């Protein structure tokens, strides 16, 4: 039933709008036809597309009858402009180019200017083919300059500036905008003020002149609302929303994006546009009718016996049928695209909100981890330090189960903090593998020594089987490699009692300097059920506790898997309940003797001697001051302690020190501020940040204020004195 209804509409519109055209006097003068063309153009500017189509169709018919190239070009230009307003851009381009052909025949530079400008608009802002569009604008500008039409020059340069700004080429577009700003008051059209203010807002926002950007955008919106210039107002809403989003004002950006979407839907649903689309079909019917007339004339010359009227009627009905089918298809496509665009618009808005929430959640998570780890490490430093002091000062307590339990618990809690930070860094891609020279045998030996306490408690033995084909020195990130082995070996020892843990390494292949080494960590422990073997690599997941309580957070194996991902490697598991578990992976390390020698030569050597140094300790926590002071004085160094950054500055003014240990998180004046003032005084004494913050969090800021190095609490005493000595001798 739908095609029949459409046919009725077509025939009806032909009766209403078609017959009067046939009855109008065909001897219209050129002046009368020109007046009709002006009327069609005026109706177009008033958005009365229905009447503009009818009038321009009348102009085209009589212009063709009179063979007036100038008027034909004008009528095609108006018809193309109507289609452009109806968002039928391909049809608009077709009629503009037809008009350009006749304008060239008429040698009318003014119409050439109009059509080139219109084609520039279409290709730039609708087809997004900016190179082609700007070429049309420049052609239009050439005719304007030839005609010395300053008002048209202003209009065209406004369009060129807009085109460049649309593709973020502000440097290329600003000369055109400056010309428009200088000449708009005298030669410009008031209807273009909305876009002019919008472009000034876009440029001001680009150069971060936010006050001007706000002024121009709001001025554009005010003018658009006042003059009811809905299309330009919608552009201003959209660009202002984009500016606010880049500036970080997400709430207002969303509000103006909603206004833009609402106004765009209103424009698209305009009843005038719907009616004008139906009338616009008559223009296309005229085009098809002219083609039919041409075909009929050729047939008449070939065969005079053919009946002209019947052939024309049959062909006309065929054309109407084809056009009807095409119109139906286009209408269905239009409805589908409109629905899809609405869905996409809503989805994009939801995605923007979701992304903002995700970014905010990620930032809050990082801030939370930073704060909580700092607050935990500060008292842990005191606990570990005082425990060590008690064990050193009271040798009779060396075997005390209470003190040893306290020390173990503190180190376990520190390990937990490090695991949480480690997995967060990996997830945020903040870990970059380093190239260091190391010996696999030495690394495994150190790991076994550090885990001997667990092995002894569980009555386990550890066997090591190293492939002699593995080069003595390898190049790679030995710290991450050690973390992988520590997690796997400690897990094997923890879940094995009265058993054995075997560590095997084998060189499996060599490609250039790359040596691919397979590692196997095998134990004779409780094993892992088949259904649980994938779960063990999930964060905070623990399996196999059953009747026994195995300490752990469920982070060890997930960290191993993620670290191996940095090495572009994968971990495999083989396990049988009650018999044990084997973990396997392959890591490629470089082996390059020349590069190894260079790395070894670059390693800083501890140049410490028996000389006594004076160290200033700055820390607001009295327990931490006591612990650090005891550690330093035990090395026979002199130590001065203060509790604030201000006290440190006063001391440095009147005394000299060999090194300064600076806490970062202090009230009133933090370590960064104190260091900056000390450096401003011209003091070059090495300053070491002794902090509970993660090193990656403060490195950039520390270097910027003049801090020489960073040590994270709790720390190894040997590392502290190594860094102190190196910095002192370097100074």
Cβ distance 30 to 106 under 8 Å?
Answer: no
Cβ distance 74 to 114 under 8 Å?
Answer: no
Instruction: From residue 395, give the alpha-carbon distance in Å to each of 80, 104, 295, 400, 636.
Output: 99, 106, 116, 10, 20
* Distance between CA atoms of residues 713 and 631, nearest Å: 13
569-620: per-residue pLDDT in tens? 999 999 998 889 999 999 999 987 776 666 555 555 454 455 678 999 999 9
663-666 long-range contacts, CB within 8 A, separation 24+: 663/618, 663/619, 663/620, 663/621, 663/624, 663/689, 663/690, 663/691, 664/689, 664/691, 664/693, 664/698, 665/374, 665/378, 665/691, 665/692, 665/693, 666/618, 666/619, 666/620
Residues with Cβ within 8 Å of residue 176, at least 6 apart in sequence: 157, 158, 160, 161, 164
* Residue 74 neighbours by CB distance under 10 Å: 31
What average pLDDT does range 673-687 have in this prediction?
93
- The enclosing H or E element of 145 equals helix 130-147
What average pLDDT does range 674-688 have in this prediction?
93
Please return the burial class of 307, using the count of CB atoms within 10 Å of its CB with bins 0-12, 13-18 and 19+. Answer: exposed
Cβ distance 75 to 44 under 8 Å?
Answer: no
**DSSP code per residue over 429-475:** T------EEE-HHHHHHHHHHHTHHHHHHTT-EEEEEE-TTS-SSEE
* Distance between CA atoms of residues 546 and 541, nearest Å: 14
* Residue 649 neighbours by CB distance under 10 Å: 19
Q: Which two tokens stand for residue 384?
A: 């570990």
> Angle CA(106)–CA(112)–CA(115) in degrees, nearest 5?
125
SS3 505: strand
Q: Is the pTM of this model over 0.85?
A: no
The pLDDT-based confidence of 174 (bands split at 50, 70, 90) is very high
SS3 74: helix
- Cα 146 to the center of its chain, rounded Å: 46
pLDDT at residue 595, rounded to an integer: 67
Residue 390 has pLDDT above 80, yes or no: no
Q: Quick one: which of 84, 89, 85, 36 has its CA closest to 60? A: 36
The pLDDT-based confidence of 87 (bands split at 50, 70, 90) is confident
- Most confidently predicted of 208-212, 291-295, 306-310: 208-212
What average pLDDT does range 182-200 have in this prediction?
86
Q: Quick one: which of 561, 563, 559 has its CA closest to 583? A: 561
Minimum mean pLDDT range among 110-124, 386-400, 640-654, 659-673 = 386-400
525-543: per-residue pLDDT in tens? 998 888 887 878 776 566 6
pLDDT at residue 17, rounded to an integer: 34
The pLDDT-based confidence of 681 (bands split at 50, 70, 90) is very high
pLDDT at residue 127, rounded to an integer: 85
Q: Quick one: which of 89, 152, 169 has its CA closest to 121? A: 89
Instruction: From residue 484, give the alpha-carbon distance in Å to each of 414, 520, 567, 643.
Output: 18, 12, 11, 40
* Residue 351 neighbours by CB distance under 10 Å: 10
607-654: per-residue pLDDT in tens? 445 567 899 999 998 888 888 998 898 888 999 999 999 999 999 998
Residues with Cβ within 8 Å of residue 57, at least 6 apart in sequence: 17, 21, 75, 79, 282, 283, 286
Residue 150 has pLDDT above 70, yes or no: yes
* Distance between CA atoms of residues 465 and 504, nearest Å: 5
* Distance between CA atoms of residues 698 and 367, nearest Å: 13
Cβ distance 373 to 421 under 8 Å?
Answer: yes
SS3 577: coil
Query: How much of the chain, in percent, has pLDDT values that exceed 70?
Result: 77
To the nearest 10 degrees (0 to 180), the angle between helices 308-393 and 2-13 is 120
Query: How much of the chain, in percent, has pLDDT values that exceed 90?
Result: 19
* Distance between CA atoms of residues 589 and 306, nearest Å: 90
What average pLDDT does range 224-249 have in this prediction?
88
319-347: per-residue pLDDT in tens? 898 988 888 888 888 888 888 888 888 88
691: left (phi over 0), alpha (psi -120 to 50) or beta: beta
pLDDT at residue 652, rounded to an integer: 92
What phi and psi, each to the nearest 5 degrees, are found at residue 183?
Answer: -115, 0
Minimum mean pLDDT range among 77-86, 202-211, 308-317 = 308-317
Q: Which two tokens stand for residue 29?
A: 């003068």
176: left (phi over 0), alpha (psi -120 to 50) or beta: alpha
């Amino acid at each position: 039933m739908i095609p029949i209804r459409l046919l009725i509409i077509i025939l009806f519109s032909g009766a209403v709008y078609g017959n009067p055209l046939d009855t109008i006097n065909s001897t219209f003068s050129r002046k009368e036809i020109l007046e009709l063309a002006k009327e069609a153009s005026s109706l177009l500017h008033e958005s009365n597309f229905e009447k503009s189509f009818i009038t321009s169709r009348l102009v085209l018919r009589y212009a063709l009858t009179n063979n007036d190239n100038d008027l034909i070009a004008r009528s095609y230009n108006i018809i193309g402009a109507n289609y452009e307003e109806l968002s039928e851009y391909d049809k608009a381009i077709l009629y503009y180019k037809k008009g350009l052909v006749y304008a060239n025949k008429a040698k009318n530079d003014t119409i050439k200017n109009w059509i080139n400008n219109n084609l520039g608009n279409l290709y730039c802002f609708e087809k997004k083919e900016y190179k082609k569009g700007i070429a049309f604008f420049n052609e239009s500008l050439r005719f304007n300059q030839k005609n010395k039409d300053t008002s048209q020059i202003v209009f065209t340069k406004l369009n060129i500036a807009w085109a460049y700004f649309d593709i973020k080429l502000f440097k290329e577009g600003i000369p055109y905008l400056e010309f428009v700003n200088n000449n708009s008051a005298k030669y410009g059209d008031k209807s273009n003020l909305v876009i002019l203010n919008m472009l000034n807002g876009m440029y001001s926002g680009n150069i971060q002149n936010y006050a001007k950007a706000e002024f121009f955008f709001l001025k554009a919106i005010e003018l658009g609302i006042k003059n009811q210039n809905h299309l330009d107002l919608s552009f201003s809403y959209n660009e202002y929303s984009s500016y606010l989003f880049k500036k970080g004002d997400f709430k207002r950006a969303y509000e103006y994006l909603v206004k833009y979407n609402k106004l765009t839907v209103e424009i698209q649903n305009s009843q005038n546009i719907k009616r004008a689309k139906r009338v616009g079909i008559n223009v296309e019917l005229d085009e098809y009718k002219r083609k039919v007339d041409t075909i009929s004339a050729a047939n008449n010359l070939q065969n005079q016996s053919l009946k002209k009227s019947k052939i024309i009627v049959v062909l006309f009905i065929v054309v109407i049928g084809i056009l009807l089918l095409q119109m139906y298809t286009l209408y269905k496509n239009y409805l589908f695209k409109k629905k899809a665009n609405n869905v996409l618009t809503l989805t994009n808005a939801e995605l923007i909100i979701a992304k903002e929430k995700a970014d905010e959640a990620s930032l809050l998570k990082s801030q939370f981890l930073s704060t909580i780890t700092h607050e935990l490490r500060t008292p842990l430093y005191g606990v570990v330090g005082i425990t060590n002091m008690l064990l050193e000062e009271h040798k009779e307590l060396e075997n005390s189960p209470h003190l040893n339990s306290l020390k173990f618990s503190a180190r376990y809690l520190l390990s937990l903090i490090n695991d949480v930070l480690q997995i967060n860094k990996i997830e945020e891609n903040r870990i970059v593998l380093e190239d260091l020279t190391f010996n696999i045998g030495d690394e495994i030996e150190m790991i076994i020594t550090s885990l001997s306490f667990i092995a002894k408690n569980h009555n386990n033995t550890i066997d090591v089987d190293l492939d002699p084909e593995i080069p003595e020195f390898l190049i790679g990130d030995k710290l991450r490699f050690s973390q992988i082995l520590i997690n796997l070996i400690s897990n094997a020892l923890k879940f094995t009692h009265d058993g054995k843990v075997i560590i095997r390494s084998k060189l499996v292949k060599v490609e250039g300097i790359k040596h691919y080494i397979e590692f196997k960590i095998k134990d004779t422990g409780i094993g892992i059920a088949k259904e649980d073997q994938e779960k063990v690599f999930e964060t905070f997941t623990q399996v196999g506790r059953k009747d026994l309580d195995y300490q752990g957070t469920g982070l060890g194996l997930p960290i191993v898997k993620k670290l191996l991902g940095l090495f572009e490697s994968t971990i495999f598991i083989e396990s049988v309940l009650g018999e044990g578990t084997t973990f396997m992976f392959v890591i490629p390390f470089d082996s390059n003797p020349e590069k190894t020698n260079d790395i070894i030569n670059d390693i800083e050597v501890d140049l410490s001697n028996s000389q006594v140094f004076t160290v200033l300790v700055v820390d607001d926590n009295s327990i931490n001051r006591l612990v650090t002071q005891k550690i330093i004085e035990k090395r026979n160094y002199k130590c001065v302690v203060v509790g604030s950054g201000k006290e440190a500055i006063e001391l440095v003014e009147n005394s000299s020190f060999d090194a300064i240990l600076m806490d970062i998180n202090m009230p009133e004046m933090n370590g960064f501020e104190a260091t900056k003032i000390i450096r401003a005084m011209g003091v070059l004494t090495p300053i070491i940040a002794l902090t509970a913050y993660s090193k990656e969090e403060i490195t950039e800021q520390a270097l910027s204020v003049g801090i020489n190095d960073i040590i994270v609490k709790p720390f190894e005493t040997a590392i502290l004195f190594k860094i102190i000595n190196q910095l002192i001798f370097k100074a």
